[in-house]
Amino acid sequence: MQFEDLEIIEPILKALKDQNYITPTSIQEKAIPLILNRNDVIGSAQTGTGKTAAFAIPILQHLYLDRQQYNSPRKINALVITPTRELAIQIADSFTTYGKFTGIRNTVIFGGVKQGAQTNALRNGVDILVATPGRLLDLMDQGFVRLKDIEYFVLDEADRMLDMGFIHDIKKIIAKLPAKRQSLFFSATMPNNIVELSKKIVKNPTKVEVNPVSPTAETIQQYLYYTNKSDKKNLLRHILQDKKIDQVLLFSKTKHGADRIARNLKKQRISAAAIHGDKAQNQRQKALAQFKAGEIRVLVATDIAARGIDIDKLKYVINYDIPNIAETYIHRIGRSGRAGEEGTSISICEPEENAFVRDIEKLINQKIEIAKENPFPQTEKPMTERERKEWDKEKQKRKQEFFASRKQKSGRSNSYKFSRQKR
């Protein structure tokens, strides 16, 4: 099947051909006809399956045909809500790409930057609004955005929305939407809380599910290094001595960890940058742009910051920390080996993460190949339950002592200042 077989109008087909998009993905093939027929849709699909085009193309077509018929002034007719700034920008870019010859105008709004440019774009009139929940509510409260004309509503990455604590914001937004609308709901996973949320959004939906043939792409080579926690830094340096590994997306489980890894790599004269939720939006965009341009060799990211980031022909993913949720591993390594390209995943496992590896291997139904050359093999054993409790107890004690000491020092310093002032 080709896009031409999906009853897509010529202006959009032309834009797709410009991008050399000929054959739709599975979710596009299933969802586009349903959305063109104005059905509410629940799509269960992971990042990298082409779901953005699955909803963007039919929405553009609806709006283009409506405009041809009515030629009314521009107003926000379509709203797409997504959890992260990076994903919002990418979705808006997709609407621009596919709508190149339609005259349909979109804009994107997100937090972490000044709102001036965003409110100016809204004043100039837009047909499609792509937004993160927080900034959307802010601009609604200020009167810059009204949702009374929304005909097409998309909630994207619903599972991630809930993980990030956006549930109350989502409910507030839904309450402001017109009852009569077409709603599209996309989520990588469908646990009970997601199903319950979907019931508040879609009416008599058609479910579209894209199950990968195997949990991990066949084009991805997976390697595993077992090492000690204290040796991870040195092992990473050893791995990156291989010059073939020229562009790496490296995952850290924490923001502080991401910053620390990037700093250590820079000390070793390896170009690196970290992206996570505490970074300013312009810093994140700059780092991503530099990485895509090949100016940065290693982009260190947390799972949330990396969600929705598409990097063409990315070959290498490194799991510096093994995720404690097996599905997250699949999301991570799926960043490489896309569109039939070969990819390589390298995971570095410390003793306390051994159990996570077993969970991953169980999920993907295969053993991950252990790397042959490892100058820093794992010699330590994971803590027993009793040892872990003792360790946590000791860690808590040290933490309390540290803060008590700091408080004491602060008190002394203040009393000294006070006595100096009295003199």
Q: What is the pLDDT of residues 7-32, one digit of tens each?
A: 999 999 999 988 878 888 888 999 99
Q: What is the CATH number of domain 3-209?
A: 3.40.50.300
pTM over 0.75: no
Structure tokens at 89: 């920008």
State the pLDDT at residue 251.
95
Reported as half-sphere exposure (CB side, CA atoms, 13 A), residue 220 has a value of: 28
Give yes or no on whether 3-209 and 220-370 have one common fold: yes
Domain 220-370 has CATH 3.40.50.1580: no
Question: Is residue 345 within a helix (H) or strand (E), and if so which, with residue range?
Answer: strand 343-349
**pLDDT tens track for 90-108:** 899 999 999 999 999 999 9
**pLDDT tens track for 48-74:** 677 899 999 999 999 999 888 777 778
Structure tokens at 20: 């050399």
Q: How far apart are CA 273 and CA 264, in angstroms?
A: 11
Name residue 109's beta-bridge partners: 131
Q: How far apart are CA 217 and CA 14, in angstroms?
A: 31
Q: How far apart are CA 41 and CA 31, in angstroms?
A: 8
What are the residue boundaries of the structural domains of the chain, listed by start?
Answer: 3-209, 220-370
State the pLDDT at residue 355.
85
